[in-house]
Amino acid sequence: MKGRQAAFEEAIQEAPVIAAVKNDMGLAHALRSECAAVFILYGTILDIGQIVKRIRAAGKLAFVHADLIEGLSNRGEIAVDFLAEATKADGIISTRPNLIHHAKELGLITVQRFFLLDSISFENVVRQSSHADVIDILPGAMPDVIRCLSQRVTQPLIASGLLTDKRDVCGALAAGAVAVSTTSEELWEAGLYSSKKSLLFRKDCDIVQVETKNCIFLLRKLSQSEHSRIRRFGSL
């Protein structure tokens, strides 16, 4: 059986746009989308199990933001135990290192979220993310910061928040993020999916082939030193 981590890596290579949902309406749309993973940013201790069940029944990976679930947010490590046992979520999202560490011990995929406000918070990512499988940074529309951070950490990066259009998504991916998460339903259907569509991502390369005009424009505007990190697949 494919492990959770391998399944996640395969999912984001196929569909690097992750649906982030904050209510039932968004969840319904995410279930119909081509996104392969869903970040759950709402719910209570009473309904989170059903939310996860619906996502997994749709063939998607379910990640619960443990800090945002009513009735669990202040429960510490016992909240992680509950999510692992009672909901069968694939992974958790949290800003708290102790929850990330405990979730990893339980075999969950761990996504540690950081808010980048200044140089101090940037350095905190490097110092405090050692137990996380994936690092999630907010805001996500900061390609220069993503590029610098990707050179300082070993874990894959997800960019989240303030992604408003295709150019923001392409910019984050071109800068080194393996995926983006967004509540913008328009971006879920933007066609930014596997090599069969408009975007080709390779783990061993920093940059991707992009066929949308906006993204081509972005890549051509990179500096000469950044161009040296680009490997093209086919024609642009």
First to last CA, the chain: 37
Determine the 3-state secondary structure of 16 from DSSP: coil
Residue 234 clears pLDDT 90, i.e. is over it: no
- Identify the pLDDT of residue 73: 85
The predicted-structure confidence for 71-105, as pLDDT tens digits, reads as follows 998 889 999 999 999 999 999 999 999 999 999 99
- Identify the pLDDT of residue 3: 86
pTM of the model: 0.82
The DSSP bridge pattern shows strands 209-210 and 61-65 to be unpaired
The predicted-structure confidence for 115-165, as pLDDT tens digits, reads as follows 999 999 999 999 999 889 999 999 999 999 999 999 999 999 999 999 999
- Identify the pLDDT of residue 192: 56
142 in Cβ contact with 161 (< 8 Å): no
As a whole-number percent, the residues of the chain with pLDDT over 90 amount to 74
DSSP sequence for 166-213: HHHHHHHHHHT-SEEEES-HHHHTSS--STTTTEE--TT-S--EE-SH
- Sorted by where each starts, the structural domains of the chain and their CATH numbers stand as 4-199 (3.20.20.70)
Residue 160 falls in which region: left (phi positive, over 0), alpha (psi -120 to 50) or beta: beta
Average pLDDT (43-60) is 98
As a whole-number percent, the residues of the chain with pLDDT over 70 amount to 79
